[in-house]
């Protein structure tokens, strides 16, 4: 369970989609002065060196953030995300890629709070070194799916929660839906970002069916696959289920995904922005 290390995958196409959605959501939450919490169930180490042995072994960032780094015609909605990447990389080098907790820490205001979970001992220590000095942040060495429920509802009654386990265990696909349903019962007005990999299409369909059975009414599915589905051949893409999405998010992604597809996908790649409706019997 503790073998997964995100350093091998930092800055890949899945990170791009996940973090674009995250940044747009956090930007939206700052439209109101009232404070909010950011909760990250699987925070990782917070910051990754793209010249590390792990990143260089897979070179996944070359088909992800590197593509955007080299682009000269970025859509406006991508600029907040890409500018954060630029802020830690001296031109023209792309040497570092930030994880979700680092991005959130840069975006959140003095009155906001961050609650981060990371179970892997090495990543927990690195995360603590990278962000532990920030008084807004509390870091727990704990299973985030279990720890999340203990935080809800937050004192602020406003929160964005990112749930993105490694999915190394097949049970992760059902566990995240079960946890999300429990979290929603405790705190129905928060925004939840549930990331998933596209490895076997049937598992994604099962997640959709599980979410439909929860009866949650406002779920947006955002998915980007740079290549065609390829069962048994690894991750062909990824997506986000967004519960209580910002009202502009669907339109923003409908604009961004065709551009990202042009930059990062082959002829068989595909994307979608879809509303997930509750099952009729719920």
19 appears as a binding residue in the annotation: yes
9 appears as a binding residue in the annotation: no
Give CA 97 to chain center in angstroms: 14
118 appears as a binding residue in the annotation: yes
Whether 278 and 216 have beta carbons less than 8 Å apart is answered as: yes
**Integer Cα distance of 133 and 136 in angstroms:** 9
140 appears as a binding residue in the annotation: no
DSSP per position, 249-281 = HHHHHHHHHHHHHHHH--TT-EEEEEEEPPPTT
270 appears as a binding residue in the annotation: no
Q: Which of 15, 40, 123, 164 is catalytic?
A: 164
3-state secondary structure of 237: strand
**Integer Cα distance of 91 and 85 in angstroms:** 11
Which stretches within 65-219 are classed as H helix?
A: 65-70, 79-87, 100-107, 121-131, 144-151, 172-186, 201-214
> Token pair for residue 234?
């690894």
15 appears as a binding residue in the annotation: no
Assess whether 15 carries a catalytic annotation.
no
Q: Residue 39: beta bridge partners?
A: 115, 161
144 appears as a binding residue in the annotation: yes
Query: Which residues does the annotation place in the binding site for S-adenosyl-L-methionine?
Result: 19, 42, 100, 118, 143-144, 164
Query: Which residues does the annotation place in the binding site?
Result: 19, 42, 100, 118, 143-144, 164
Residues forming the active site? 164
């Amino acid at each position: 369970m503790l073998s997964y290390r995100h350093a091998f995958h930092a800055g890949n196409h899945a990170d791009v989609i996940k973090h674009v959605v995250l940044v747009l959501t956090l930007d939206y939450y700052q439209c109101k002065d009232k404070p909010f919490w950011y909760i990250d169930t699987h925070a990782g180490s917070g910051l990754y060196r793209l010249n590390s042995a792990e990143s260089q072994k897979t070179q996944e960032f070359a088909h992800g953030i590197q593509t955007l780094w080299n682009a000269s015609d970025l859509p406006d909605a991508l600029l907040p995300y890409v500018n954060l990447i630029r802020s830690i990389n001296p031109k023209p080098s792309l040497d570092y890629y930030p994880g979700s907790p680092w991005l959130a820490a840069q975006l959140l205001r003095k009155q906001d709070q961050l609650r981060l979970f990371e179970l892997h001992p090495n990543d927990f220590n690195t995360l603590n070194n990278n962000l532990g000095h920030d008084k807004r942040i509390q870091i727990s060495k704990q299973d985030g799916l279990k720890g999340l429920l203990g935080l809800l509802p937050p004192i602020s009654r406003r929160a964005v929660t990112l749930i993105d386990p490694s999915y190394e265990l097949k049970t992760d696909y059902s566990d995240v839906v079960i946890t999300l349903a429990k979290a929603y019962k405790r705190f129905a007005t928060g925004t939840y970002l549930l990331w998933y990999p596209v490895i076997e299409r049937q598992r994604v369909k099962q997640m959709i069916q599980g979410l439909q059975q929860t009866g949650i009414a406002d779920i947006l599915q955002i998915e980007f696959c740079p290549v065609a589905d390829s069962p048994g051949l690894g991750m062909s893409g990824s997506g986000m289920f967004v519960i209580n999405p910002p009202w502009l998010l669907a339109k923003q992604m409908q604009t961004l995904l065709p551009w990202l597809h042009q930059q990062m996908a082959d002829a068989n790649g595909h994307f979608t922005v879809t509303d997930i409706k509750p099952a009729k019997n719920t």
